[in-house]
Amino acid sequence: MSSEIIVIKDLNANTQPYAYFSLGKGKDVAASEAKTASWDIAFSKTTIAVNSGSSGPGQAGALVVEQPFEAITEAPKDGYKSDHDDTFAIPGGSGNSWYKYDMSVHAIRTIPGRTLLVKTSDGKYAKVQIISYYKGAPEEVPTEESSYITFRYAIADENGKF
């Protein structure tokens, strides 16, 4: 059995400080709940925070793997990192996690074959692929209407299988 793949389109990551999201509930979480365990990941432009450490009171964690989304069939039980004051579990910067900055056209491009593995605030596991940084997830990368994240994810079953 394979996990249901959920696609979230155009999550507005221009929100300050973050756009909070619950993977388990499949929906946005109000900023007023930032200091609760009700969210798993949060977006602010290209930065992705997880609900742990310096970012929140949850027990979430994440790691970036060099594997295509479809190829991941099981979540590792350990190795997940928390956010800290000076570093995020999902590293920032071009080439460090899910995107590269293309200087020739001044655009953010997703890196094929990179997947985020997330341990959620309630101890479940998810795999996440960022599809686009631009509104409408266009094939050709525009330089306007940015910070609208389209991503897909799946939550593992109780045995950690996708």
Q: What is the pLDDT of residues 17-56, one digit of tens each?
A: 999 999 999 999 999 999 999 999 999 999 999 999 999 9
Q: What is the pLDDT of residues 124-142, one digit of tens each?
A: 999 999 999 999 999 887 7
HEC assignment per residue over the chain: CCCCCEEEEEEECCCCCCEEEECCCCEEECHHHCCCCCCCEEEECCEEEECCCCCCCCCCEEEEECCCHHHCCECCCCCCECCCCCCCCCCCCCCCCCEEEECCCCEEEECCCCEEEEECCCCCEEEEEEEEEECCCCCCCCCCCEEEEEEEEEECCCCCEC
pTM: 0.95
